[in-house]
Amino acid sequence: MGIFTRSVVSRKPNESMRLFVTAFVGVVFGFLIGLCFPKLSLTKFSLSASILTAIDFKYTEYTKLGPSSSTRVSHPVGNNGSSANVTLKKIWVPSNPRGAERLPPGIVRAESDFYLRRLWGKPSEDLTSKPKYLVTFTVGYDQRKNIDAAVKKFSGNFTILLFHYDGRTTEWDEFEWSKKAIHVSVRRQTKWWYAKRFLHPDIVATYDYIFIWDEDLGVEHFNAEEYIKLVRKHGLEISQPGLEPNKGLTWQMTKRRGDHEVHKETEEKPGWCNHPHVPPCAAFVEIMAPVFSRDAWRCVWHMIQNDLVHGWGLDFALRKCVEPAHEKIGVVDSQWIVHQSVPSLGNQGESLDGKAPWKGVRERCKKEWSIFQTRFSRAEKAYLKEINSTSH
C-alpha cells in the first residue's frame, strides 16, 4: 500500500503539466479557426429538406396566406440542396359542408352513424355487419317488458336506440340486446325533443329507414323485415303499421284493414277533408309509430320545431316532405300493431293550479298544435308573397 501511494504522488506533476499544455493548444487552435472562417448568422441558417419536411414547410407558409391569396415560394426538394418554385394556395372549397371549407374534400366526413367501435385492433375490422335500419323507442323502465317484446321483433339489420325519459339506463342490461343498444338519457323529454337533437339527417344517413316509435305499442302481429318489404313494394316514403280497430284508435286512416296489404286513403266524417288527397283522408299517418325513408326524414327533421316538443300537428304537415304525398304516404295493414294507450308521458308532468299532471301535458299538446299550424301557415304565405313580388 505504501509503494502504491508514493507512486501516485510522484506522477501528479507530470500529469498536471500535460493537461495544461493540451488546454493551451486547444485555445490557440480554436482562435486560429475563428480567424479563417466568416461568422455564421443563426437567423439565416437554413434547415435541409430532410429536417424541415414538406408538410411542415407548407403549413408555415399556409398560415401567412389569406383565404384566396397565393404566393410563390422556394421549396426545398430532395436531399441534394436543389429547389423548385411551387405555388401554394390556401384551401377553400365552397361545396364542402358549411364550416369545412378550409379542408380538402378527401378528408371531409359529413355523415356519421351509430355503429359501435372497438377500442383496439384495426378500424377496418371493427364492424362484422352494418345495420341498414334504425329503430328508436322513447322509454321508461316501467315499460321494459313491452319494449323487450318489441325489440325482439327487429332483426340484426336494425340498430336499437333507446331514449330514456326517466334517467334509468343501467337496469336495462338485464336484457342481452340492451348491451349492444344505444342509450340516450335526458329526463322528462318527449321523443320529438330527442329526435330533433340526436337524429340529425347526417347522423342517421347510413340507414334506409328510421322508425320513431312510442313505448306502448303491442307488436304480436308485427314483423319488421316483412314490413320493410311492403314499404319498398308500395313505394312508401312515410308510413306506419295499421292499428287494431278496437283500441287506441283516433283516425280512420290508421285503422287496419284486414283485406289489404297497404292502404293510402280512407273516408272520414263529413267535412273533415276538403279534398280526398289531403289529411286526414290521405297523405296521413299518426306520430305514435311513424317510419321514414332516409330522404323523407331529411325534410321532416328540418320541420320539427325546437320548442314544440309534443309533435302535435306534425302528422298533418308530413305530406309537405314527399310528392305526390297521397301516393308515398300510407298504412301497412298486414303488419299491424296495438296502441296500448299507456299514459306514461302525462305522468311526467307537474301538477299546477290544482290540475292533475296529465291535464297540463294535454293542454300544452293542444297549444302546440295551434302554434305549429299558425307558424306553418305564416311561413308559406311569407314565401309565396316574396316569390310573387320578385317575379314581377
Over 90: is that where the pLDDT of 306 sits? yes
Domains and CATH numbers, the chain: 133-342 (3.90.550.10)
**Residue 282: DSSP 8-state:** B
Q: pLDDT digits over 29-63, tens only?
A: 565 555 554 444 444 434 444 433 444 434 444 44
Q: Is 58 within 8 Å of 88 (Cβ atoms)?
A: yes
Q: Looking at 33-186, which runs of residues are DSSP E strands?
A: 70-76, 83-89, 133-139, 158-164, 182-185
In angstroms, the CA 365 to CA 354 distance is: 19
Confidence at 334, pLDDT banded by 50, 70, 90: very high
Over 70: is that where the pLDDT of 233 sits? yes
Q: pLDDT digits over 245-265, tens only?
A: 877 688 999 999 999 999 999
What pLDDT, on a 0 to 100 scale, did the predictor assign at position 79?
47
Q: pLDDT digits over 147-183, tens only?
A: 999 999 999 999 999 999 999 999 999 999 999 999 9
Range of lowest pLDDT (24-33, 203-212, 257-266): 24-33
Confidence at 341, pLDDT banded by 50, 70, 90: confident
Over 70: is that where the pLDDT of 219 sits? yes
What pLDDT, on a 0 to 100 scale, did the predictor assign at position 359?
85
Average pLDDT, the chain: 83
Confidence at 20, pLDDT banded by 50, 70, 90: low
Average the pLDDT over 128-145 and give the result.
Answer: 96
What pLDDT, on a 0 to 100 scale, did the predictor assign at position 327?
98
Q: Is 210 within 8 Å of 297 (Cβ atoms)?
A: yes
Average the pLDDT over 116-131 and give the result.
Answer: 94
Range of lowest pLDDT (31-35, 317-321, 332-336): 31-35
Look at residues 243, 244, 237, 240 and name the one whose alpha carbon lies nearest to residue 227: 240
Question: What spatial distance separates the first Cα and last Cα of the chain, rounded to whole Å?
Answer: 119
Residue 183 neighbours by CB under 8 Å, 6+ apart: 161, 162, 164, 169, 172
In angstroms, the CA 376 to CA 374 distance is: 6
Q: How far is CA 38 from the centre of its chain?
A: 63
Range of lowest pLDDT (29-38, 187-196, 266-275, 360-369): 29-38
Q: Is 169 within 8 Å of 179 (Cβ atoms)?
A: no
**Residue 267: DSSP 8-state:** -
